[in-house]
């Protein structure tokens, strides 16, 4: 059936030419960029997912994040949009095949070929991890091998929704990967970081070396259970002859505890290069699966050669004359005859039916030859006796040796002791220890005692104390940002936040840690995070009676902002502070505003008109206003007839008012 999407032009620029691949989440088309006249790949989101706004939003957001990556081993993303009801992503078109296609055709790869594929994968992943992007779905289907041998990682940071067969999702239904390659922390907690990609890349390495993933099962749940509860087996169990360093590399990158894995893809790549150097693995071209038979022909390797005929095959130790030794003494070739050992005295029968040839008479043997044969027989008997005795000694006690005392020795010394004892060192599992110095043997299996010669003795060597540090660069950053960094770092430390005043660090930012940042700390150590509440409150000093300038300097030195008002006071001289707000002795926020009231001298009073009033009443009214009263009596009387200054005049507080009292 013709794909109805083929032929559409999206956003007037991308003409979809042919469908390349289709999955449950999206369909990939080869397309022509009409603006730049180039061929690109366009990934179109599946129709049933385009109606989910949360999925479309995640698709758009994470596509933009992937577009920020620029690396030769990452499929580049150049555009994203929606048109004609289609949500799409424009990517680099890689002509070639996936690593899955190669493994299906080849069965498995050699160590050199596996390293040649994995190195560019880790290089691309390392660039992503440095950019803060976690792939979350590393698997052979997402590793593209171009016709020119360039390896690229696809589907960086692309969101997925609705888990399908062999896949898992966390809360909200957001797909986070394929079960066969998911790390235990993704399966248990739905969280992934760079070490989760390291785990998946280690699983891919195992599959390239053996031809299949380490865990299988009838259901995705069965596979997930094995990832969480079982260690990945060593590849050499299925591919004898692999160097132990390769086994150790697979084991180290697929530890169930992410803390003991390489920190990111860059660390994995460094370990891989160390193994290449130690073992002497040659650099070979990336296998593209193509041969001279044609551009689309896979070149099978590492598969058993199919027999050319169904008859019995000659073993390299069989006679080279075209006959086979059979239990009945008859050749399977049908052209010659053969006898089992010990049957040489009897006649032989020709396959063609000829009569048997009579046996020849045994000629006489000279005496000197008989004596030589007798001596040879005695020597053979003695040799057999010695051999039988040696074999008996070996199976009795000679095959046993004593495992020497190894605990406490340096790794090199322990290996030397085992080799001298005729035992093979299986070196070495490294673990952290708070008591045993780094490089010393913690345990051996079998332990001190007897063991068969040639037995592998597994050594466990100390890595020294396990320590973690808090980054000093986190001091001064907002607490919300530091919390996010702590979640990302997943430090196994116990953090407690304490609010504290700080004169220099803004409120809500981290002022420090206890112990100090950069200190080496054991697992589960308690760390206090000090968070600024801003500057501490400041007590307002008593500046009443000081000059206005002196009072302002005092307050500004304490961090206050000073404003001035004026007033009048009979008790405070002109230019001096007569009041402060907030009041002296109270606490005010650092950098808050303090108001001082500066005296302009005595208060001013408006003189009331008291004429016609009783002299005593007038005197009381004037004195209540802070005025002085002088009464002059003319003749006899009690009524005020005249005042100076007169009513309505404004005078200083304390001014004397003269009253004339008469009848």
Residues forming the active site: 137
Distance spanning both ends of the chain, measured CA to CA:
131
DSSP assignment string, 41-99: EEEEE-GGGTT-HHHHHHHHHHHHHHHT---TTB--EEEEEEETTEEEEEE----EEEH
CATH no. of 9-91: 3.30.200.20
Q: Is the peptide bond before 645 cis (omega within 30 degrees of 0)?
A: yes
Assess whether pLDDT exceeds 60 at residue 175: no
pTM of the predicted model, to two decimals? 0.45
Most confident region among 277-286, 408-417, 582-591, 607-616 by mean pLDDT: 277-286
Query: CA 188 → CA 194, 221, 225, 377, 428, distances in Å?
Result: 16, 12, 10, 74, 29
Distance between CA atoms of residues 609 and 576, nearest Å: 33
Please check the confidence at residue 1 and state whether its pLDDT lies above 80: no
Give residue-wise pLDDT tens across range 496-554.
Answer: 999 988 888 999 999 999 999 999 999 999 999 999 988 888 899 999 989 999 999 99
CB atoms within 10 A of CB 115: 24
pLDDT band, very low/low/confident/very high, at 397 (cuts 50, 70, 90): very low
Considering the chain, tell me which residue range(s) the CATH 3.30.10.20 domain(s) occupy.
401-462, 472-532, 538-599, 604-662
CATH number for the domain running over 472-532: 3.30.10.20
Tell me if 571 sits within 8 A of 602, measured CB to CB.
no
> How far is CA 660 from its chain centroid?
102
Mean pLDDT across the chain? 79
Q: Could you tell me which of 86, 77, 93, 110 has the C-alpha nearest to residue 150?
A: 93
The predicted-structure confidence for 374-388, as pLDDT tens digits, reads as follows 767 776 667 776 666
Q: How far apart are CA 575 and CA 573, in angstroms?
A: 6
Return the closest-CA partner of residue 167 out of 220, 204, 213.
220
Contact 59, 78 (CB under 8 A): no
Rounded distance between C-alpha atoms, residue 93 and residue 146, angstroms: 10
What is the predicted pLDDT for the residue at 370? 59
Q: Which of 151-155, 243-247, 352-356, 639-643 is predicted most confidently?
A: 243-247
Per cent of the chain over pLDDT 70 is 78
CA distances to 476, 477, 524 from 472, rounded to whole Å, are 9, 10, 19
Distances (CA, A) of 30 to 85, 91, 653: 19, 10, 99
**pLDDT in the model for residue 572:** 85
* Spatial CB neighbours of 296, under 8 Å, sequence gap ≥ 6: 290
The dihedral sign for the CA sequence 271, 277, 280, 283:
positive
* CATH number of the 538-599 domain: 3.30.10.20
Please give the order of strands across the beta sheet that includes 561-567: 561-567, 593-599, 577-581
C-alpha to C-alpha distance for 56 and 88, rounded to whole angstroms: 10
In the block, tokens 């296609």 appear at 101
Mean pLDDT within 149-161: 70
Fold of 96-279: Transferase(Phosphotransferase); domain 1 (1.10.510)
Per-residue DSSP letters for 264-332?
A: SHHHHHHHHHHHHHHHTPPP-PPP-S-BTTBTT-----SSPPPPSSSSPPPPTTS-SSS----TTSB-S
Confidence of residue 210 (pLDDT cuts 50, 70, 90): very high
Averaged over 191-205, what is the pLDDT? Answer: 94
- Note whether 250 and 214 are within 8 A (CB): no
The Cα 196–Cα 188 span in angstroms is: 12
Mean pLDDT of the region 81-98: 90
Q: How far apart are the C-alpha atoms of 505 and 56, rounded to whole Å?
A: 41
Give the model confidence (pLDDT) of 21-39 as tens digits: 887 678 999 999 999 999 9
pLDDT in tens, 620-652: 999 888 889 988 887 777 888 888 998 889 888
What class does CATH assign to 604-662?
alpha beta
Topology of the domain covering 401-462: Trypsin Inhibitor V; Chain A (3.30.10)
Q: Give SS3 for 515.
A: coil
Would you call 25 exposed, middle or buried from its count of C-beta atoms within 10 A (0-12, 13-18, 19+)? buried
* From-to residues of CATH 1.10.510.10 in the chain: 96-279
Banded pLDDT at 420 (limits 50, 70, 90): confident
Residue 174 has pLDDT above 90, yes or no: no
pLDDT score for 479: 93
Residue with tokens 């689309």: 296
């Amino acid at each position: 059936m013709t794909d109805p999407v083929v032929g559409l032009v999206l956003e007037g620029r991308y003409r979809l030419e042919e469908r390349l691949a289709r999955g449950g989440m999206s369909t990939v088309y080869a397309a022509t960029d009409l603006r730049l006249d180039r061929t690109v790949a366009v990934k179109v989101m599946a129709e049933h997912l385009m109606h989910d706004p949360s999925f479309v939003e995640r698709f758009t957001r994470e596509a933009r994040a992937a577009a920020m990556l620029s690396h030769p081993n990452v499929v580049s993303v150049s555009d994203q949009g929606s048109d004609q009801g289609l949500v799409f992503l424009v990517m680099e078109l890689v002509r070639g095949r996936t690593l899955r296609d190669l493994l299906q055709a080849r069965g498995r790869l050699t160590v050199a070929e596996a390293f040649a594929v994995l190195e560019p994968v880790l290089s691309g992943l390392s660039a992503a991890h440095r950019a803060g992007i976690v792939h979350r779905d590393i698997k052979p289907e997402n590793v593209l091998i171009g016709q020119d041998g360039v390896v690229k990682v696809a589907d960086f940071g692309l969101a997925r929704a609705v888990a399908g067969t062999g896949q898992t999702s966390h809360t909200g239904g957001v797909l986070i990967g394929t079960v066969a390659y998911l790390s235990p922390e993704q399966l248990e907690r739905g969280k992934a970081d760079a070490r989760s990609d390291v785990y998946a890349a280690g699983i891919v390495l195992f599959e390239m070396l053996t031809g299949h993933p380490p865990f299988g099962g009838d259901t995705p749940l069965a596979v997930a259970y094995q990832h969480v509860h079982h260690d990945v087996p060593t590849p050499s169990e299925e591919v004898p002859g692999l160097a132990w360093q390769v086994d150790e590399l697979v084991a180290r990158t697929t530890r169930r505890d992410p803390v003991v894995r390489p920190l990111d893809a860059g660390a994995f790549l460094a370990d891989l290069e160390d193994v290449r150097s130690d073992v002497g693995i040659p650099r070979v071209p990336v296998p593209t699966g193509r041969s001279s038979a044609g551009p689309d022909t896979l070149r099978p390797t590492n598969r058993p050669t199919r027999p050319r005929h169904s008859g019995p095959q000659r073993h390299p130790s069989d006679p080279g004359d075209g006959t086979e030794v059979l239990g009945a003494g008859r050749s399977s070739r049908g052209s010659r005859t053969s006898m089992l050992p010990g049957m040489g005295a009897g006649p032989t029968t020709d396959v063609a039916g000829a009569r048997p040839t009579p046996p020849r008479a045994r000629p006489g043997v000279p005496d000197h030859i008989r004596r030589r044969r007798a001596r040879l027989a005695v020597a053979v008997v003695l040799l057999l006796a010695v051999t039988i005795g040696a074999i008996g000694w070996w199976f009795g006690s000679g095959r046993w040796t004593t495992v020497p005392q190894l605990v406490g020795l340096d790794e090199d010394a322990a290996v030397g002791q085992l080799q001298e004892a005729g035992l093979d060192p299986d070196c070495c599992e490294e673990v952290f220890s708070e008591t045993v110095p780094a490089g010393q043997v913690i345990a051996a299996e079998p332990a001190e005692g007897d063991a068969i010669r040639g037995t592998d003795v597994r050594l466990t060597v100390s890595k020294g104390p396990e320590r973690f540090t808090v980054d000093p660069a986190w001091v001064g950053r907002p607490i919300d940002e530091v919390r996010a960094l702590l979640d990302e770092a997943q430090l196994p430390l116990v953090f407690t936040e304490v609010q504290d005043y700080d004169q220099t660090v803004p409120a809500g930012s981290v002022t420090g840690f206890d112990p100090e940042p950069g200190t080496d700390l054991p697992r589960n150590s308690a760390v206090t995070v000090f968070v600024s509440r801003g500057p501490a409150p400041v007590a307002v000093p008593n500046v009443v009676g000081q000059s206005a300038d002196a009072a302002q300097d005092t307050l500004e030195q304490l961090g206050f902002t000073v404003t001035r008002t004026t007033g009048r006071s009979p008790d405070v001289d002109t230019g001096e502070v007569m009041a402060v707000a907030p009041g002296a002795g109270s606490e005010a926020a650092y950098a808050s505003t303090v108001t001082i009231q500066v005296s302009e001298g005595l208060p001013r009073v408006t003189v009331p008109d008291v004429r016609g009033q009783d002299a005593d009443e007038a005197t009381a009214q004037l004195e209540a206003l802070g005025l002085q009263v002088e009464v002059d009596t003319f003749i006899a009387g009690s009524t005020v007839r005249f005042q100076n200054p007169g009513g309505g005049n404004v005078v200083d507080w304390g001014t004397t008012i003269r009253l004339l009292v008469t009848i």
